[in-house]
C-alpha cells in the first residue's frame, strides 16, 4: 500500500512498484493528490479513498492483505502550516501513530515512514548525515520530527517494523504543490521576470523517479528497522542557480529576479545538502538522472498538460466553490433583511 499514492512522489512510487512486479494499492483522501496522477494505471492498481487518521484504517489493511506500507500521507506544504498547525500535527504525527498501530495489528511486514530533511533545520555542516542535530524551523518540520521519534520508540517498545526515510527535496512531473521548481517554471512560462523569496537558500534536489527507486530499495533492505536513512544527491543549488538553469532551458537569454517579501518564511532553512552514504552502502542505490535532464522532463510534463500544474487547477476550482458559497450566503443575507 502507498498511502498518499495519488500525490506527487506517491504516484511515481506506484509506477516504480509496478515495474517491480508488485500489486500496489493506493490509499488517498484526494485533497492534494489527484486521480489524474494515476492516469493509465487504473486497471493495474487498486484505489481506495480514505483517511489514515480514521480508526477503520486497520480494517482496510486486513481486508486487502497488505504486506508492506509506504506512508507518504502528509500535510506537506510549509507555507500552509502557519495557518493550520493543528491540522499538520493531526495528519503528520497522529496519522503516523494510526498507521503504525494499524499495521502492527494487521500483520504488515514492514513500513517505510516518509520523513523530511526539514527536521534537521539549516545545515551545521555539509553534507548532512543521519547524525546531524535536529532543529526544525517550521510546524511542518516539527510534526515530521514527532513522527520520526514515534517510529523510533514504537519500534523499540512495540516491535513495529518501521524504517524512517528522510527525503531531501524532490522535483519532477506531476507536482501537486507550488514548490520552488514548479513555481519558477510557471512564472517563466509567462516571461523572464521572476518574483521570488530567499534566492540564496540552497537545496539538494533529487529527480522523483530516483527518489522512488531509493524508497523501494530501502523497503527491500534487511536489518534496518528502527533506523533513519537520508535520501538525496549530495549536491546542492541555490534558488538563484535553479532559476538561471530553468531560464536557459525555457529559452530565456536572461532572467530578472525581483524580491517578493511575502514569499519569505518566518524562519528559513539556509542550506540542505544530503549525505546519502548510509543508504548507498546498504542498498547500492544512487541517483542516475542528472539535474538538467530531470528539469527538461519536468518542463515537458508541464507543457504536455497545457502549461498548468494540478495544484493550479485545484486552486481555481476551490475559488469557484468559494465564489458560489459567497453568492449563496449573500442571497440568504438579502432574504433575511
Residue 216, classified by CB atoms within 10 Å of its CB into exposed (0-12), middle (13-18) or buried (19+), is: buried
| Residue 73, domain member (yes or no) | yes
| Residue 336, domain member (yes or no) | no
Strands of the chain, DSSP E: 2-3, 25-28, 46-49, 68-71, 110-116, 162-167, 170-171, 193-196, 202-203, 206-207, 228-231, 237-238, 256-259
pLDDT value of residue 185: 98
Overall residue count recorded for the chain in this entry: 337
pLDDT value of residue 315: 61
pLDDT value of residue 320: 47
| Residue 298, domain member (yes or no) | no
* Residue in this structure with the C-alpha cell 544527491, named with its chain if needed: 233
Cα-flanking dihedrals φ and ψ of residue 36, to 5°?
A: -60, -25
Domain extent, residue 156, equals 2-172+207-233+269-288
**Number of structural domains in the chain:** 1
Q: Which helix (H) or strand (E) is 57 found in, with range? A: helix 57-63
Helix and strand tally (H, E) in the chain? 12, 13
User: Dihedral, CA atoms, 247, 249, 253, 257, nearest 10 degrees?
Assistant: 0
pLDDT value of residue 317: 52
Residue pair 61/69 in contact (Cβ under 8 Å)? The answer is yes
| Residue 318, domain member (yes or no) | no
- Buried b / exposed e across 16-47, counting CB within 10 Å, b at 16+? bbeeeebebbbbbbeebbbbebbeebeeebeb
| Residue 264, domain member (yes or no) | no
What's the CATH number where 42 sits? 3.40.50.720
Residue pair 273/123 in contact (Cβ under 8 Å)? The answer is yes
| Residue 48, domain member (yes or no) | yes
pTM of the predicted structure, to 2 decimals: 0.92
| Residue 117, domain member (yes or no) | yes
Secondary structure of residue 271 in the 3-state scheme? strand
pLDDT value of residue 237: 98
| Residue 17, domain member (yes or no) | yes
* Residue in this structure with the C-alpha cell 501537486, named with its chain if needed: 176
User: Would you write out the chain's pLDDT as a tens digit for each of its 337 residues?
Assistant: 999 999 999 999 999 999 999 999 999 999 999 999 999 999 999 999 999 999 999 999 999 999 999 999 999 999 999 999 999 999 999 999 999 999 999 999 999 999 999 999 999 999 999 999 999 999 999 999 999 999 999 999 999 999 999 999 999 999 999 999 999 999 999 999 999 999 999 999 999 999 999 999 999 999 999 999 999 999 999 999 999 999 999 999 999 999 999 999 999 999 999 999 999 999 999 999 999 999 999 999 999 999 999 988 876 554 544 455 455 544 434 443 3
pLDDT value of residue 294: 98
Amino acid at each position: 500500500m502507498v498511502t498518499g499514492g495519488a500525490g506527487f512522489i506517491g504516484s511515481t512510487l506506484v509506477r516504480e512498484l509496478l515495474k517491480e512486479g508488485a500489486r500496489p494499492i493506493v490509499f488517498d483522501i484526494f485533497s492534494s493528490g489527484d486521480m489524474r496522477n494515476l492516469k493509465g494505471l487504473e486497471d493495474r492498481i487498486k484505489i481506495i479513498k480514505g483517511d489514515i487518521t480514521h480508526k477503520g484504517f486497520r480494517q482496510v489493511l486486513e481486508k486487502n492483505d497488505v504486506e508492506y506500507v509506504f506512508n507518504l500521507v502528509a500535510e506537506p506544504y510549509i507555507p500552509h502550516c502557519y495557518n493550520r498547525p493543528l491540522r499538520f500535527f493531526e495528519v503528520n504525527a497522529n496519522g503516523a501513530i494510526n498507521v503504525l498501530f494499524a499495521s502492527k495489528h494487521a500483520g504488515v511486514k514492514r513500513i517505510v515512514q516518509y520523513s523530511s530533511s526539514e527536521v534537521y533545520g539549516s545545515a551545521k555542516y555539509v553534507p548532512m548525515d543521519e547524525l546531524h542535530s535536529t532543529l526544525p524551523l517550521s510546524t511542518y518540520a516539527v510534526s515530521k520530527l514527532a513522527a520520526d521519534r514515534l517510529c523510533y520508540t514504537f519500534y523499540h517498545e512495540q516491535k513495529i517494523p518501521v524504517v524512517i526515510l528522510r527525503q531531501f527535496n524532490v522535483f519532477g512531473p506531476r507536482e501537486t504543490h507550488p514548490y520552488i521548481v514548479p513555481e519558477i517554471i510557471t512564472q517563466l512560462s509567462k516571461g523572464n521576470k521572476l518574483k521570488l523569496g530567499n534566492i540564496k537558500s540552497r537545496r539538494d534536489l533529487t529527480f522523483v523517479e530516483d527518489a522512488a527507486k531509493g524508497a523501494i530499495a530501502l523497503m527491500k533492505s534487511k536489518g534496518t528497522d528502527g533506523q533513519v536513512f537520508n535520501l538525496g544527491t549530495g549536491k546542492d543549488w541555490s534558488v538563484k542557480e535553479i532559476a538561471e538553469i530553468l531560464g536557459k532551458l525555457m529559452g530565456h537569454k536572461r532572467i530578472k529576479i525581483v524580491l517578493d517579501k511575502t514569499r519569505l518564511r518566518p524562519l528559513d532553512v539556509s542550506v540542505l545538502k544530503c549525505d546519502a552514504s548510509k543508504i548507498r552502502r546498504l542498498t547500492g542505490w544512487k541517483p542516475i538522472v542528472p539535474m538538467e535532464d530531470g528539469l527538461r522532463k519536468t518542463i515537458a510534463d508541464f507543457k504536455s498538460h497545457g502549461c498548468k500544474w494540478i495544484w493550479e487547477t485545484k486552486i481555481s476550482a476551490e475559488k469557484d466553490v468559494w465564489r458560489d458559497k459567497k453568492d449563496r450566503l449573500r442571497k440568504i443575507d438579502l432574504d433575511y433583511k
